[in-house]
Amino acid sequence: MSLSDRLASGFKNLRTRTKALSRFKILNLLINSLQSFYLIFRFIRDYRETNRYLRGEWGSVHPAYIPLDSCNEINFPKEEFFIYNPTLIIDEGKLRFFTRITNVSNSPDVDIFGRLKKRGALSGTVNGIAEFAIDKAYNAINYKVVVEPTSIPNFEDPKAFLLQNEVALFCNFIKKEPTGEDRTFICQNAMIQLSSNKITTFESPFSKNIEKNWIPIELNGGNLRMFYSCNPLVILDINLENSFISTSVIDDDFCFDFHGGSQIVRLNDTLLVRVVRRKMQMKNLGMIAISYLVFHNNDMKIVRISKPFLFRKFGFEICNGLAKIDDYLVFTWGEDDIRNFIGRIKINEMIDWVFDKELQSH
């Protein structure tokens, strides 16, 4: 363990122990000072590690961008809510788009402790879901709310998926957010079947307070397969009739803990792809998201992971939508919790970009 790792571990343990003393009011100043010092130290350590990692992956300070054939901003009508993290699905040959609408968004700006600044509400989060289409000028048209914005409990960051030819949205189901002295956050996953308006919530298979960003794979009989985690790579099989969940570990020796991402798309008989992201700290920006393409075989084992890349810029690039249209992959993503984009790349060009030549023939 490196010196910085040992220091980080020591500060974390000290912070945990001092929290237990918070009932003694006279110690609050000391406790708050220790916590602030720990946050500053951790932020400096984290963004230095980010710089070292990205320099090693890219060979320089200059980022790698995915070579999109086109990239266009989706223009929404002026709304009272923030709109971001769009997803898309092909339903009966037509593209359908869905997005989160909310009263809060993160700004790519931080205080000295590395904590993100927010736009809109600081608490009392309101979330809803809207559907839209886009015209040739990439304007959002036919905009309509499909899940009314409400206070918690509510749904965020939908991912569209076809479930027995019916469009379903897989969402994070926020049950409680931190408030006041109670800093507990409780989140489950949920599925909304749009035509029937049926809502199914899923309990944590490991009795955790926080479960987010499960990714649907396929429906096999009455069981729905889902990506649960990347490190280790765990698959869930959920019986939709009785909600029974079984788990299987595909890979328990994985180096990164990727978060969330897009749906998974089949490229051919043996290869599937999805977009995942890794959260990192960046000086003057705070938390950012770097994307990767992950390729799986039919057993969901990982075949290849691309180098880290950006779509457009450092910040919150949250790719929440992926679809195969003819010879193209189409992406939709939110940028900095305030702008939205759609881009595409030819599948063959994407394969050339990610895979070594000698691997393409296999």
Structure confidence by residue, pLDDT tens digits, 30-74: 566 666 666 777 778 888 888 898 999 998 878 999 999 999 999
Q: Are residues 295 and 324 in the same domain?
A: yes
Residue 11 is part of which domain span? 3-58
Do 96 and 42 lie in one domain? The reply is: no
pLDDT band at 359 (very low <50, low <70, confident <90, very high): very low
Do 238 and 272 belong together in one domain?
A: yes
Residue 362 has pLDDT above 50, yes or no: no
Which tops the pLDDT comparison, 320 or 42? 320
Which of 37, 58, 79 is the C-terminal boundary of a domain?
Answer: 58
| CATH number where 149 lies | 2.115.10.20
The pLDDT value given to residue 125: 93
Q: Kindly state whether residue 290 falls inside one of the protein's structural domains.
A: yes
Poorest-confidence range of 61-75, 220-234, 307-321, 338-352? 220-234
Co-location of 195 and 334 in the same domain = yes
Tell me the C-alpha to C-alpha distance, in Å, between residue 46 and each of 14, 39, 237, 290: 19, 10, 35, 14
107 and 206 together in one domain = yes
* Helix 28-58 × helix 3-19 angle, to 10°: 150
Say yes or no: 38 and 101 in one domain: no
Confidence of residue 153 (pLDDT cuts 50, 70, 90): very high
**Pair (338, 204) in one structural domain:** yes
Task: Supply the DSSP string of 176-242, one letter for each residue.
Answer: E--BTTB---EEEEEEEETTTTEEEEE--TT--SB----EEEEEETTEEEEEEEETTEEEEEEETTT
Task: Supply the pLDDT for residue 258.
Answer: 82
C-alpha angle 322-314-54 in degrees, rounded to nearest 5 = 95
Q: What is the DSSP letter of 25?
A: G
Same domain, 161 and 206: yes
Residue 351 in domain: yes
32 lies in the same domain as 76: no
Number of domains within the chain: 2
- Do 132 and 259 lie in one domain? The reply is yes
CA 249/CA 292 separation, integer angstroms = 21
Any domain includes 64: no
Is the pLDDT at 195 greater than 50, yes or no? yes
- Collapsed DSSP state (helix, strand, coil) of residue 281: strand
Q: Answer yes or no: do 309 and 242 share one domain.
A: yes
Cβ atoms of 84 and 318 closer than 8 Å: yes
Instruction: Work out the average pLDDT over 280-300.
Output: 89
Q: What is d(CA 230, CA 214) in angstroms, rounded to the nearest whole number?
A: 11
Q: Does one domain contain both 224 and 276?
A: yes
Instruction: Report if residue 65 sits inside a domain.
Output: no
Helix, strand, or coil (residue 344): strand
Does 362 fall in a domain? no
User: Structure pTM?
Assistant: 0.86
